[in-house]
Amino acid sequence: MEPAGTGRRWPGPPAPLLLLLLLQVAGPAGALAETLPDARAVGTSASPPSPASVVAPGTTPLEESRLPVFTLDYPHVQIPFEITLWILLASLAKIGFHLYHKLPTIVPESCLLIMVGLLLGGIIFGVDEKSPPAMKTDVFFLYLLPPIVLDAGYFMPTRPFFENIGTIFWYAVVGTLWNSIGIGVSLFGICQIEAFGLSDITLLQNLLFGSLISAVDPVAVLAVFENIHVNEQLYILVFGESLLNDAVTVVLYNLFKSFCQMKTIETVDVFAGIANFFVVGIGGMLIGIFLGFIAAFTTRFTHNIRVIEPLFVFLYSYLSYITAEMFHLSGIMAITTCAMTMNKYVEENVSQKSYTTIKYFMKMLSSVSETLIFIFMGVSTVGKNHEWNWAFVSFTLAFCLVWRALGVFVLTQAINWFRTIPLTFKDQFIIAYGGLRGAICFALVFLLPAAVFPRKKLFITAAIVVIFFTVFILGITIRPLVEFLDVKKANKKQQAVSEEIHSRFFDHVKTGIEDVCGHWGHNFWRDKFKKFDDKYLRKLLIRENQPKSSIVSLYKKLEIKHAIEMAETGLRSAGPSFASLNDCHEEKIRKLTPGEMDEIREILSRNLYQIRQRTLSYNRHNLTADTSERQAKEILIRRRHSLRESIRKDSSLSRERRASMSASRYLSLPKNTKLPEKLQKKRNVSNAGGNSSDSDADAGTTVLNLKPRARRFLPEQFSQKAAQACRMEWKNEVDVEAAQQPCTPAPHRREGATQTPGALRQPLLPHGQLGPGQEGPTTESQRPRPPPRLVRRASEPGGHKARWGSERP
């Protein structure tokens, strides 16, 4: 059943797919069907006889049936069975697409899925002669949409989002209003023309149609934009708009629908509509924030039962969504704000594993939902609920595009005045182009009450045409267009510690200058919020309440991630990196003379290898392709790299080597030891150590007790002076120099500096050394993340102390 690797295969192997189809067709209408009659397969359905037809185990009163040896009871499992089959089909289709590598880059997945849906729909229609199961709007709104929005909201890069929040709101609210009213009114104008035969469509109906068709769809935007990697700002503008315009859509839709059904409309109703908008939007947000805080608070206490932590995240988010839906508020906004609020605090409270689980499960759910939505769109298109009218359809399409372009242009002119960095024409073009319509519009149009809308089928057709056009044509052409226009692409660099430092530094500089100027800028509010956050919120919501610096968090995260990777690749060593952050010992180590330093350098250069720069980049969806071999090499390099770390020729970084019991002497340099001799010994030990695997095991355990042992061994060295060098914990490292590194206390900084003029030398590795390759804090690959941005991830609070001090194997 495995679709064998190479070459193009259209979606998946044909045989299982046909089997699925057969079962689908043969079975009675699924739970997802709204139009099929409820023909339970008790052998009375009009469908062609099939192997799946059920033998009712019931007995007729007239005769007694014998005990059946083998029975088939389809209705019993019908609903879950069909749901499972649909999801399976969707996932198989996805596998099929990715078999041919280039395909998803040329054609966005959404298009392919719709085509599969169309195909399926066609088959079902052809076989059954009735409309295939259309997607029930309830199922869509309650089950399929929330995971996608949750995923988007949880991983939303908050900084650029809030930096652009004014613009996003501007586009979402005013833009959607502009579009709906524009499209509605112009369509009404068209309908007035007698020749088209549309005069029975009233203004209100047109306005309603306009409101539902003008909403930019987050699902479609996500599906298309994730492949083209435009720069973050553009992405966040389009995507933020698509999320936040839900409030406007909900309000307008309900408003016009009620107006259509009301006899008279009074001004108070209009005002009620406007008030409703605020209620819907703000209410949604408040619900989201409230539940987000509760979720964060709950996770504060879950340290004893880590297994259900991910559950809370999902439950609370979903709760926020359906609570908002209960009150007819904007569910999308609720779940988005809930996710964004939760994200910050939950990250710090949950364990590493829970975090990974949350992330992967979320991605999985959203992926499945997205796939199902698109397939269903395809399936539901085929059928009998269409009415074609050239004029209406084509004008709808034209107006959608025109009004979108106009709207973006006009609105941007207005908002550019307030922005410090105005949006260029290229940006505007992409924003307008990226206004894709999708499943929400689709679902809403199906939801129109047929009684009020005699021409509902016309609307459906028009909506489908617009959706297909935007998804297919715009979706496929946006990629070459982006390249043609040379739009700035996303910055794919991984988050490095130095970048974090620079960003932080820069933030503070900017804030400082703003303070000096007396200017309340963005940074002012951000700082205020941060202070409030630190003072109250974090104390309340986070378990281990240490105010964390993002730099340190990032650093720790990288370290832990590195450690996990090392462990995962089967190496014995899962050592933490080169610094024990939490309880670092201060010690004073004798300074080395320049002559000694040179000697060290020489010895090292003769014996060690060079380091190579490594880059590992993770993509949002997949890990790097060639795993094992490259990884092995990388690991080797990383080990060397880490060994190299220990060699610092500048003033003060002393590493601690912990290789075996005997090496304890080398922890610090006793005053009387002659250096070269020590080096000699160390070298021998190192060579010996390298050859035996025992030292690995040894080192593995020794690190456990590093701190206490170190304390025991180094009381005389223990100095209370500030600015001591940090010891590097090394497992397996029996290497040479480390302890000889001079650790110059701060007052002697200058001297140290001159001694080894700020030199940071690339360390070289001993031949055949099998140390734990500890990754330096260089750009470590993060967990896959959507738009690249600063991400703070929590490291395991509980595990922290364990890790830094003593590594538990």
Partner 1 sequence: MGAAQSASEEIRELVGKTGFSSDQIEQLRRRFKQLSGDQPTIRKEHFNNVPDLELNPIRSKIIRAFFDNRNLRKGPSGLADEINFEDFLTIMAYFQPIDITMDEEQVQLCRKEKLRFLFHMYDSDSDGRITLEEYRNVVEELLSGNPHIEKDSARSIADGAMMEAASVCMGQMEPDQVYEGITFDDFLKIWQGIDIETKMHVRFLNMETMALCH
Question: Which parts of 731-750 interact with partner 1 (CB under 8 A)?
Answer: 749
d(CA 176, CA 245): 7
34 binds partner 1 (CB under 8 A): no
Exactly one of 136, 257, 479, 548 binds partner 1 (CB under 8 A); which one? Answer: 548
Q: Residue from 695, 702, 717, 779 that binds partner 1 (CB under 8 A)?
A: 779
CA dist., res. 547 & res. 604, Å (int): 41
Give which of 656, 661, 676, 808 is closest to 735, Cα–Cα: 656
| b/e 746-769 (16+ beta carbons within 10 angstroms → b) | eebeeebeebbeeeeebbbbbeeb
Is residue 511 involved in binding partner 1 (CB under 8 A)? yes
Binding residue for partner 1, selected from 8, 98, 508, 801, defined by CB under 8 A: 508
Q: Is 762 in the site for partner 1 (CB under 8 A)?
A: yes
Q: Give the C-alpha separation, 557 to 619, whole Å.
A: 18
516 binds partner 1 (CB under 8 A): yes
Binding piece for partner 1, criterion CB under 8 A, among 164-172, 258-266, 668-676, 761-769: 761-769
Closer residue to partner 1 (CB): 9 or 749:
749
Sign of CA dihedral 135, 137, 138, 139: positive
The number of beta carbons lying within 10 Å of the beta carbon of residue 427 is 22
CB of 654 to partner 1, least distance (A): 11
Q: How many Å separate Cα 102 from the centre of its chain?
A: 23
State which residue, 611 or 669, has the beta carbon closest to partner 1.
611
Q: How far is the CB of 793 from partner 1 (least distance, A)?
A: 16
User: Is 526 among the residues that bind partner 1 (CB under 8 A)?
Assistant: no
From 271, 520, 525, 529, residue interacting with partner 1 (rule: CB under 8 A): 520
Residue pair 452/258 in contact (Cβ under 8 Å)? The answer is no
Within 10 Å of residue 609's Cβ, how many Cβ atoms? 18
Q: What angle do CA 469, 474, 476 make, to 5 degrees?
A: 110
Rounded Cα distance, 133 and 142, in Å = 18
Q: Does 348 bind partner 1 (CB under 8 A)?
A: no
Stretch of 176-184, 282-290, 341-349, 490-498 lying at the interface with partner 1 (CB under 8 A): 490-498
Stretch that binds partner 1, among 199-207, 242-250, 254-262, 725-733 (CB under 8 A): 725-733
Q: Per CB under 8 A, does 579 bind partner 1?
A: yes
Q: Binding-site residue total for partner 1 (CB under 8 A)?
A: 85
CB 231 within 8 A of CB 280: no
Largest CA distance in the chain: 109
Stretch that binds partner 1, among 244-252, 352-360, 571-579, 662-670 (CB under 8 A): 571-579
CB 361, min distance to partner 1, A: 32
Measure the CA angle with vertex 387, ends 381 and 391; round to 5°.
115
Query: How long is the chain?
Result: 809
3-state secondary structure string across 161-185:
HHHCHHHHHHHHHHHHHHHHHHHHH
Determine which residue in the list 761, 790, 798, 800 makes contact with partner 1, applying CB under 8 A.
761
Q: Tell me the DSSP string of 35-90.
A: SS----TTT--SSPP-TT--------TTSPPPPPSS---HHHHHHHHHHHHHHHHH
**164 is an interface residue for partner 1 by CB under 8 A:** no
Among 764, 770, 791, 794, binds partner 1 (CB under 8 A): 764
Q: How far is the CB of 672 from partner 1 (least distance, A)?
A: 27
Of 83, 778, 784, 798, which one interacts with partner 1 (CB under 8 A)? 778
CB of 534 to partner 1, least distance (A): 10
Return the DSSP state at 31: T
- Dihedral sign, Cα of residue 129, residue 144, residue 369, residue 23: negative
For residue 417, state whether it binds partner 1 (rule: CB under 8 A).
Answer: no
The span of 141-149, 251-259, 656-664, 754-762 binding partner 1 (CB under 8 A) equals 754-762
Q: Report the nearest approach of partner 1 to the CB of residue 652 (Å).
A: 8
For residues 89 and 96, give the distance between their C-alpha atoms in angstroms, rounded to a whole number.
Answer: 10
CB-CB contact of 140 with 439 (8 Å): yes
Please say which residue, 88 or 760, places its beta carbon nearer to partner 1. 760
CA pseudo-torsion sign 157, 163, 165, 167: negative
Which of 146, 310, 777, 786 is close enough to bind partner 1 by CB under 8 A? Answer: 777
Q: Does 178 bind partner 1 (CB under 8 A)?
A: no
Q: Specify the stretch interacting with partner 1 by CB under 8 A; choose among 42-50, 248-256, 474-482, 545-553.
A: 545-553
Measured from the CB atom, the residue of 29 and 764 that comes closer to partner 1 is 764
Q: Which is nearer to partner 1, 575 or 776 (CB)?
A: 776
Do the Cβ atoms of 111 and 12 come closer than 8 Å? no
Name which position in 319, 397, 551, 564 contacts partner 1 (CB under 8 A). 551
Q: Which is nearer to partner 1, 42 or 564 (CB)?
A: 564
Phi-psi label, residue 781: left if phi above 0, alpha if psi -120 to 50, beta otherwise = beta
Residues 592-651 that bind partner 1 (CB under 8 A): 601, 604-605, 608, 610-613, 645, 648-651
Please report whether residue 414 would count as binding partner 1 according to CB under 8 A. no
Work out which of 55, 289, 552, 790 binds partner 1, going by CB under 8 A. Answer: 552
- In the bound state with partner 1, the residue whose beta carbon lies nearer, of 391 and 490, is 490
